[in-house]
Amino acid sequence: MLLYLHANKLTRLEKLFSSIKIQVNEKLFIKDPDSSQLGKKIVEHSIYLIDEIGFEEFTFKKLGVRIGSPESTIYRYFENKHMLLVYITSWYWTWLEYRLVFSTNNISSPEERLKRAIAIVTEPVKQDSNYSHINEVKLNRIIISESLKAYFTKEVDEANKEGFYMVYKSIVQRISEMVLDISPKFKHPHTLISTVVEGAHQQKYFSEHLPSLTDVGNNDDKIVSFFTNLVFSMLKNG
């Protein structure tokens, strides 16, 4: 999962990147959905459907109707709907980590590097043409509204939770290290960064559904600048 990237490899990396396969923990599926057309279709439409009706209302039966296959087919890929959610969530964070690594790799200025990192995790998500069967925008909306909550269910056992959170932790860890590169004595880098990552999600959600809890309106740039400002203020005073 960890990527060691070097500046002089950038051009080759760019090519590589466009064809990279997002590798999700094998324990999260029974059969790799990336290994067949049907598998991709399942993932693709699950994102559409969960975005539309919410995870609680989402069932394999309904997804089956969407893709014209029986539920039983979907069970060949995922143990149950919770594991499917864990899968797409993991995919999302893995994809974000790739982008984070790619975006910050060859930046020598620690401040610039941290700014870019914050931008990656707070800016609005855009469709990534490299993964045509994944709608990252909708997926991001799912993460925002269903994310953390989903992992509480007893259906997802401890081991799987660990596996799933690994990527999330890795992102927080990477950015925390960037914070320490700037202020080695800062005491709470993980708390700061996890607050930023989750806070950005929430503000997007509030701006759409509960505007009186925010001041950002529809302007997503404000979210980036607010959280960038927040981090650098803390580093100055923390």
Partner DNA sequence: CATGAATGAGGCTTCATTCAT
Partner DNA sequence: GATGAATGAAGCCTCATTCAT
Pairwise CA distance, residues 236 & 205, whole Å: 29
153 near DNA, judged by CB under 7 A: no
Binding mask 21-60 for DNA (x = CB under 7 A): ----------x---xxxxx-----------------x-xx
17 near a second copy, judged by CB under 8 A: no
| Between 32 and 220, CB nearer to DNA | 32
Angstrom distances, CA of residue 51 to CA of 101, 192, 218? 28, 29, 20
Angstrom distances, CA of residue 117 to CA of 26, 121, 160, 176? 27, 7, 27, 10
191 near DNA, judged by CB under 7 A: no
CB of residue 42 vs a second copy: minimum separation in angstroms? 21
| Between 81 and 204, CB nearer to DNA | 81
73 near DNA, judged by CB under 7 A: yes
CB of residue 19 vs DNA: minimum separation in angstroms? 22
Residue type, 199: G
CB of residue 135 vs a second copy: minimum separation in angstroms? 19
Nearest to 139 by CA among 63, 47, 202, 55: 47
Pairwise CA distance, residues 33 & 178, whole Å: 34
Which is it for the CA torsion 20, 22, 23, 26, positive or negative? negative
DSSP code at position 68:
T
Residues in the site for a second copy, rule: CB under 8 A? 53-54, 56-57, 145-146, 148-149, 152-154, 165, 168-169, 172-173, 187-192, 194-195, 198-199, 202-203, 205-206, 210, 212-216, 222, 226, 229-230, 232-234, 236-238
